[in-house]
Amino acid sequence: MGISLLIIASSGIVALQKVASQGNGHARELAVASQVARTWIERLRTDATVWNTSPKTGTPSDIGQTVWLNQVNSAPQVWARPVFNGVLGSPGADVHGNDVPVAELGNAFYCTHIRLSWMFPEEVIRADVRVVWQRAGGLGGFNNLGVCADGQAVANFDNPALQPLSRYNFVYLSSSIFRNKALLQ
Could you tell me if 150 and 23 are in contact, meaning their C-beta atoms sit under 8 angstroms apart?
A: no
Reduce the DSSP state of residue 151 to 3 states and report it: coil
pTM: 0.81
Dump pLDDT digits (tens) for 44-101: 999 998 888 666 666 667 788 888 998 998 888 988 889 887 777 889 999 999 998 8
Per-residue model confidence (pLDDT) at position 29: 92
Beta-bridge mates of residue 115: 128
Q: What is the DSSP letter of 120?
A: E
Length of the chain (residues):
185
Chain segment 96-151, per-residue pLDDT in tens: 999 988 888 888 899 999 999 999 988 899 999 999 988 875 444 444 456 787 65
What's the pLDDT at 138?
Answer: 41
Determine the distance from the C-alpha atom of residue 124 to the mean position of all C-alpha atoms in its chain, rounded to a whole number.
21
- E-assigned strands of the chain? 52-53, 92-93, 110-120, 124-134, 168-178, 180-181
Query: Contact, 52 vs 60, CB < 8 A?
Result: yes
Mean pLDDT confidence for 147-157: 68
